[in-house]
Each structure stands twice: as C-alpha cells, then as structure tokens.
Amino acid sequence: MLLGGLMGATVLGLGALVAGYLLVEIPEPKSAAAAQANVYLYADGSQLAAVGEVNRANVSLDQVPEPVRHAVLAAEDRDFYDSSAVDLSAMVRAGWNMLRGGGRQSGSTITQQFVKNYYLDQRQTVTRKVKELFIAVKLGRETSKEEILQGYLNTSYFGRNAYGVQAAAQAYYGKDAARLDVAEGAYLAALLQAPSAYDVVADPGSAGRAVARWEYVLDGMVSQGWLDASERAGLVFPWPGPYEPSDLLSGERGYLVEAVKGHLTGRGIVGEDELAAGGYRITTTIDPVRQEALTRAVGEQLLDGLGTEPPDAFVRVGATSVEVATGEVVAMYGGRDYTEQFVNNATRRDYQAASTFKPIVYAAALEHAALTVDGERIGPATVYEGDSGREVVNRDGTGSGWSPQNEGGKDFGTVTVAEAMDQSVNAVFAQLGQDVGADRVRETAVALGIPGDVPGLAEARGSISLGTATPSTLDVAQVYAALAGRGTYREAVLVREVSRDGEPVPVPGAVERRAVSPEAADGVTAVLRGVVERGTGTAARSAGRPAAGKTGTAEEDRAAWFAGFTPELATVVAVFGQDSESGEQQSLYGAAGQERISGGGFPARIWGQYTAAALEGRPVVEFEGAAEPVPPATPDGERDPEPDREPGPVPDGEREREDGGREGSGEPEAEPGGSAVPSAPGSAAPSTGPPPADPSPSAPPGEPSVVPSGTGEPDREPAPGR
C-alpha cells in the first residue's frame, strides 16, 4: 500500500513536470522601453524624485575579453559549461526558505538569472521560480551556452544604474568592456552579487567586503585554471572611478534617494534587482518642512559665507535628524549637490566621532554600576584627576603606559564626571573608560545604536572612550535618540510605505528594544544638559528649548560635531574637511575665517537654528527624570562660583575643543582573513596644516592606530562647501 502510494506520487510529480515543460513557453523578451520609474515621496505625499532611466548598451560576446567572462563565471556559476540549466537542489533550498518566510535566496544558475533578467521580473516568488525553472530548461536545450552568457552579460545589473557589462565598464572605469583588464573584470563580477554593497567609492566603508569578494572571484579563476596563480598574486585592487549620476538626482534629492534605496535593500524590503527594475512608489519619512529648515540652517550658519579656495573649499556638512518617539528620520543633509559630490556626508563612515562618544562611556558606567579603581561607584559627582598627560591606571593599580593629553595641555585638577563632560576632559574619560572596561563601552555603544561593523569600533580598546571609531551622523543620531527616549533604542527608519502596481509591499516596523535602563539614560541626559547650559555647547541654546548635547572635534580638526536632543528630536550635525581633487581628509584650520572649527561653533549653531525651526509652533516639552547637573569646573579645577550666570558668545577657536583622534601610520588596516583595504588614489599622505596646540591622544600601547584617509575619491569639479 505504502509503496503504491509512493509510486503514485512519483508518477503525478513527473506528470506535473512534463505538463509544466509543455505548457510554459519561452515568452517574448521584456522591453527596456517598458521599464518604469521608481517614485519617491516625502512624508506628506509630495514628490521627492522619480528615477527610472535605463542605461544599457549591448555588446557581442567577442567584445568581452575572455578573462572578464571567466571572472563572471567564477563569481556566479563556475560549472556553467558543464552543468544543466537549473540547479534543482539550490532551488529547493531557496523555495523552502521563502515558504518559511525566511530571507531571500537566489539558488540560480547563470541561465536562470538570464531568464529572470530577460524574460521575467525580479520578484522572488514561488510562482516566478517555477516559471523560471521551465523556461531555463527549455532555453538550455534550444540555445547555446555562448548565447546565454552573452545575454546574461548584457542584462545583469552592476549598480550605478548600469545594466550590462558595457554600461558597467563605462560607469566604473570610463572605458569600453573590450578594454577591461583581469582585475577590473573581477571587480565588476564581484558587484553582481550586491552592487551597492561593494561600490567602494559610493560607500568607502565597503572596501573590506569588496576586496574579499574580489579575491574570491580571482581565487575561483585560479582554481578553474582560467588564471595563473603567479599572475593572480601580482594583481592590485582596481579602484573604480567617480560616479556621475543623472541630473534627475541633482541637489539634495540624490542623497535622500540613495539613502532610502540603501534602507530598502539593506533591510530586505525590496531586492536591489527588483528596485532597479522600477515601478515602485515609496513614501519616505522625510518631512519637507524640516528638510528645508535643515538646509537653510546649514547655508545660513556656514556654507553661504564660504569662499571658493582652500581651506573653505574643504568644508563638507552632514546632518541627520530623528524623531525620538518613532525613530523616523525627518531630515537629512548629505551635501549641496549629489551630481557633484555623491558621497553622502550624512551616512559616510570615515570620520572619527571624537568626544560625541563620551556620553556612551558614561552610559556604560551607569548601566553596569561601574566602580573606580578606589571602589567608588561612578556617578556625576565622582571625582577624577583631570590633569593633561595623566597616566591611565589599570584595575590592579598598575600604570597602563597611556597618558592622553587634554586639548591645549590644560590641567583641570580634581574634577567631577559632570564637570569633565562639560569641558570634555580627555584625561578623565580615558580613565573612566578604563574603569568601565572597553568591552562594556563597546557593548553599550552597539546597544544604543552604533552598528557593530562601524570602522574602528571592534579593534579599539582604551581609545574607544575618546571616539576613535567612525560612525555616521545617522548612527550617532540613533544613539542620542535612544538617550532622549530614556534608554529605548528605536531603529532609525527612512521608509513608511512601499507599493508596486498598486499592491502594498510589506515594510517591517522599526526594531525597538531596551538599550539601557531609564535611570542610566536619564543620568546621561542630566549631565549633557550641563554641556548645553554651561559647557562647550552653549551655542545650541539658540534652539530655545530644553536641550542636551555633546560637542566633538576630531584629530587635527578634520571633523567637528554637535550631537544633541530635545525630548522630541535628536539631531547630529558634523562638519568635515575633504579635498575635492584628491579625496584626502583635510584639517579645517582657518576655514570660514576661524583659527579652528570646533563642535561648539558652527555645528552647534546649525543645530540650534534647525531645532528651533523644526519645533516651531509646538509646545515646549521638559525632560522626564533628568535632574540638573553639578556646576562645571574652571581650568584650574575650582568650582564655578556663579553656575547660573548667562554665558556670553564664544568665538570659534576659543571654545574648548575635544580631540578624539589617534595618531597612526596611515597604513591600511587588514580585513580578517583578507587583503588590506585599498587606499584610494592620492590619499596615502595625511593632510598638513598648522600643528594642534598639543598632540592628539594617541592610542594605548599595543592598540592598532589608524587615521582614516577618507573616501579617497575626488569630486568631479571642485566646489566649496559640499
């Protein structure tokens, strides 16, 4: 009986396969002219941008160098010439995963991918997979391998709006496909898996992943006998050229669209190939009124007054504003014009966060009830020695060999933690971080919203307390929103709704979790209110609201930050220095007519103007549970006898500066198990300029020490203040 049932099921299954094979015909190719635009909307429903131009130029297979063809096969289907058109076992795994509601998986051979690109759509559904199977089988029987490979090379999406290898060769290297060399071909092949994840120019932080994927392709070529091992050993990663986006993305729109695209694909809401196929209607979280207010504040407070020559030409501004209650990104400033400088200053991860990291250290201390070396529980009134160059002491009382300097070599004497936060005393926070422990600081940073893969976070030990990691303004905004939300982390989101052909696409809700206790978050907020009221961030008082925040200035004045929040809104503003031509990070000495650019200067002023406008007409909300901090310290360590006095304006260059940098060799860091991350052309030497008043705090003995080199990618045309 059982045997008969199994045989019957087998016959039915075979019959279904035969019927499917006979009934499913090879359809007419999709028309490029039928491609639809993706429409991006502001939160109020007004149109932000419509993007959908198809960039494709077909070439014959003999116009693609054989090494480039082999690179593609090594990346996507090494058994292409010897295997069948479909890989049933991989398809079963992918189909089962989708039925269970798991992540999307391809499970496709090159033949199947060509069928998807040329005949079907990009939606990963079981129905489409079944059609793909039967069409691929028929195509494999009726079409030569060469024709299929040619079709695949001409229809695949490589990123940068480039469909096909010819368009990709032009987009990344400014040459025809016929002129690609082995290294370049291997990089283009690496892009096929996830174009936006491996574009090392658009996303400098992806360099390690991209190199690893590039090496995987080359190793596959060697293993298949397509590349000599000695030639492979001599290949150097081929840094691609700048991206020249469509004018449809000019101005700020391009930064917002690219950030939204990254959100959609990075969270698996829409696949990259699916998005490239077009037809989506995407409602973002961006509030056009607040977006305009942020842009106006950046211009009026800084950019509009800049000249066109260095150092003014080095100035870049990035900013992100997040609604505390929802995690929605309501405004984001990535730069002046995406078509001129396409690296989004709001999402880039290559400048040190500096002293904006110190509140994370204090949050870790409160959350873990950390003790000083003397056994005292750490709180706002805990006393530390604040003299510049004081050696950090290990838990056992022995010296660590690390003696970080305060800015300008100032000695603060005996100060409380609250006073040290007001004046951003490096000596105190280096010791406080040692007392808490680098691992706990790192864990707290990740819990509050700093992604674990942010450059400089995993390898930092003692120096983590002084902000040597390089998160984006978006990353830091998540942290400060969590503090404003009394310890509740809400994932920053950029998308509210997505639909295609009138059908809604599921958008998962923002991740929400307890990051630190309400008591720990409130304790940090209380101290950060003092920074705004009496410390280095008094310029932010122009918001006219109860506010808390922290200033930060990176090594050699390459970046200046202000990260702050009201009970409703967390906003982070950063000013970066970068050479338009070489892509090197540059110091901001002398920019905007100031001796130095500090976090308490332009960033805090931009923050204040924007926050006032963003909350205009709304009732004033007080912080819940955040008590007043103790008065700040004066430079000689005495308590301020007049804590309630109104501070006058302080010019840039005179405000206390925090230098979270670390000195390093400038050599690229090696990815675990892979090659060194490549430096971009022209970025090997660090920038020069007036020396800082005192050396930046170097990393503790034995700790890797690297100065980020920036994107290394020049703008197409020099332009000030992007």
Predicted confidence at residue 127, as pLDDT, reads 52
- Spell out the domain ranges in the chain: 44-278, 292-374+419-614
Note the pLDDT of residue 118: 57
Instruction: Decide if pLDDT at 440 tops 90.
Output: yes
What pLDDT is attached to residue 570? 98
- Residues 6 or more apart in contact with residue 265 via CB below 8 angstroms: 196, 271, 272, 275
pLDDT at residue number 112: 75
> Residue 673: is its pLDDT beyond 90?
no
Residue range 44-278, CATH number: 1.10.3810.10
pLDDT winner (highest mean) among 104-118, 125-139, 330-344: 330-344
Binning the chain into helix, strand and coil, the percentages to the nearest 5 are 40, 10, 50
Mean pLDDT for the stretch of residues 517-544: 96
Q: Tell me what the mean pLDDT of segment 215-234 comes to.
A: 97
Q: What whole-number percentage of the chain has pLDDT above 90?
A: 59
Among residues 524, 447, 451, the alpha carbon closest in space to that of 484 is found at: 524
Equal fold, 44-278 vs 292-374+419-614: no
Give 66-93 pLDDT, tens digit per residue: 999 999 999 998 988 887 645 555 555 5
Cα distances from 567 to residues 7, 69, 332, 482, 571, in angstroms, run: 68, 56, 19, 10, 11
pLDDT in the model for residue 81: 85
Residue 25: CA count within 13 A, CB half-sphere: 3
pLDDT (tens digit per residue) in 270-299: 988 888 878 899 999 999 999 999 999 999
Quote the pLDDT of residue 337.
92
Name the more confident of 408 and 446.
446
Name the residue with higher pLDDT: 243 or 426. Answer: 426
Greater pLDDT, 405 or 96:
405
**What mean pLDDT is reported for the chain?**
81
Bridge partners of 500?
280, 503
DSSP H or E stretch at residue 56: strand 55-56
Phi, psi of 662, deg, nearest 5: -140, 140
d(CA 173, CA 65): 15
Tokens 């390093």, residue located? 664
What's the average model confidence in pLDDT over 439-447?
Answer: 97
Residue 249, pLDDT > 90, answer no
| Angle at the Cα of 610 from the Cα atoms of 607 and 615, rounded to 5 degrees | 120
Structure pTM? 0.71
481 vs 340, residue with greater confidence: 481
Q: What is the pLDDT of residue 51?
A: 84
The pLDDT value recorded for residue 689 is 38
Dmax (CA) of the chain:
96
pLDDT band of 461, cuts 50, 70, 90: confident
Q: Range with the lowest mean pLDDT among 24-28, 222-226, 680-684?
A: 680-684
Could you report the per-residue pLDDT of 34-63, keeping only the tens digit for each? 456 788 999 999 989 888 766 777 889 999
Question: What is the CATH code of the structural domain delimited by 292-374+419-614?
Answer: 3.40.710.10
Residues 367-374: contacts with CB under 8 Å, at least 24 apart? 367/444, 367/516, 367/517, 367/520, 368/436, 368/440, 370/435, 370/436, 370/437, 370/440, 371/435, 372/435, 373/397, 373/435
Task: Give the mean model confidence (pLDDT) for residues 300-315.
Answer: 95
Q: Which pLDDT value is given to residue 437?
A: 95
- In angstroms, the CA 651 to CA 598 distance is 10
Of 114-123, 624-633, 711-720, least confident by mean pLDDT is: 711-720
Structural element, H or E, at residue 66: helix 66-76
Rounded CA-CA distance 60/320 in Å is 46
